Amino acid sequence: MDTKALRQKILDLAIRGKLVPQDPNDEPASALLERIRVEKQQMVKDGKLKPKDIKNDTVIFKADDNLHYEKFQDGTVKCIEDEIPFELPEGWSWCRLFSLSIKIGAGSTPTGGAVVYTTSGIKFIRSQNVYDDGLLLDDVAYIPEEINQKKSGSIVKSKDILLNITGGSIGRCSLVSDDFDVANVNQHVMIIRLANLELRKYIHSVVISPYIQEQIISRQVGSGRGGLSAETLSTFLIPLPPLNEQVSINRKLNECISQVLAIADAKCNISNLIIATKSKILDLAIRGKLVPQDPNDEPASVLLERIRSEKEELIKQGKIKRDKKESVIFKGDDNSYYEKIGNDVTCIDDEISFDIPDTWSWTRISTITDITMGSSPKSQDICNDNQYIEFHQGKIYFSKKTLMKSNQYTRKTTKLAPKQSVLLCVRAPVGELNITDRDICIGRGLASIKSLGNINEEFIFYWLHPYKTYLVNQSTGSTFSAITSDTVRKILIPLPPLMEQKEILDKIQKVFTLFENLETVN
């Protein structure tokens, strides 16, 4: 059972009015919306809001022709039937998020970044602190009170809704608790503050539902770390039930989600065991202990020589550039390992963490692959027109193995990841891997690793998994972690003979398929 999919299905039923029955005696949502409009107008009169804060508020209604219209404050009316995604029950209403809110806006990182963080003071919430089930503050940063006052526009209040609007965690959303003291947020987190706080639990459910999450993914813009603007978010259409029904929905969601979590907990032990076993299998594989060695196999050293010759030919053809740091690793007469780069020879025994079979060789990943670091196109070159090349900037569309389809394209290809290459996340989250079965353009968050010498790309994919912890430890950055091109190229791997690679890959694929079937059953 896919508990995540089940949870998403329950949320989808809730916001479509199919989770609990409707009560015809409930005050309709239209009356609730009218009351909110009046409250916001009064807040303007009281000086709590500025006139500009409500200038975009609209009224959405269904006319006698059974079509949906939107009335603006200047009196104009526009048919928006093409925007309406699904039918609502009687008593429900469509509205824009800005009509329910008194604040929608992101924060900013103080000048100096992490340098100004302190060990105490005002909590400074970043995207890594925001989760659907609540704020995780174990590693929260702090800023001084004087900086918090200067950033008064991004002060978090109790009962706010916080939404991640950039990067791999885009779409994660937290309710701020009723007893929360004070905090501030950076530019990767959006504050949603509702006019009527009774709506917050239901609105949180709407935001984390598939309906809104799909919009967040499809409507993010920008190169590098794509993001969602406050302007775009504020225009999202919200299906609003009567207030009494919201209470019933919230209660039912709590019941259903609790049951889902119980199922998830029951699966957790099995899942953890499977993860640990997969990790152990890959560890055995890279140590030469998963399949027996055949002394008649062509040794890896011969394969490496053949790859070097192949690279020389590709350089002559102008298909790849010469790596000035190309190295040869060998074992000296003193039984130590040495690396030769140009005329320089260095002992690298301190990098060798375990012994390998006699037919294997140590090598840098850059020796057996062609590595391309991503570069993001300009924002004006990114579009949704599929006549151009598909664009990926991070792990948003990663699956367990093969890259899923993106909805972003670029008119100008900066860096190309060719089909059958391994994609490595080089920015948060560092170390995640996938394989692309088609040519794509990659942004700064990805590196393409294309195998040479008839080495299967799936072998490289599995071979790099045990190095995730190493890559994370090598990452740097105050706002988000990242690794450099040099770090990627220097990955030191044990290389088996080509025939043994095929046997190892076959073994891994068979065992992992069994595990996947078991996970599907559970």
Classify residue 199 by burial, with Cβ atoms within 10 Å: 0-12, 13-18, 19+: buried
Q: Mutual orientation of helices 498-521 and 243-286 as an angle, nearest 10°? A: 150
Strands 389-392 and 68-71, how do they pair? unpaired
Alpha carbons 444 and 436: distance in angstroms, whole number:
16
Question: Residue 166 carries which DSSP code?
Answer: B
pLDDT digits (tens, 9 = 90+) for 453-465: 999 999 999 999 9
pLDDT for position 518: 73
- Provide the percentage of residues in the chain whose pLDDT is more than 70: 98
Read off the pLDDT of each residue in 290-298 and give the average, rounded to a whole number. 96
By three-state DSSP, how is residue 147 classified? Answer: helix
Q: Tell me the pLDDT tens digit for each residue of 364-385.
A: 999 999 999 999 999 899 999 9
Question: Residue 276, Cβ neighbours under 10 Å: how many?
Answer: 10
Query: Percentage of the chain surpassing pLDDT 90?
Result: 84
Per-residue pLDDT reduced to its tens digit, 256-293? 988 888 877 776 777 788 889 999 999 999 999 999 99
pLDDT of 91 > 80? The answer is yes
CA distance linking residue 356 with residue 500, whole number of Å: 13
Domains of the chain, each with CATH number or no CATH: 19-242 (3.90.220.20), 287-521 (3.90.220.20)
Q: Which alpha helices (H) appear in 22-96, and where do they start and end?
A: 29-45
Confidence at 477, pLDDT banded by 50, 70, 90: confident
pLDDT range class, residue 225, cuts 50, 70, 90: low
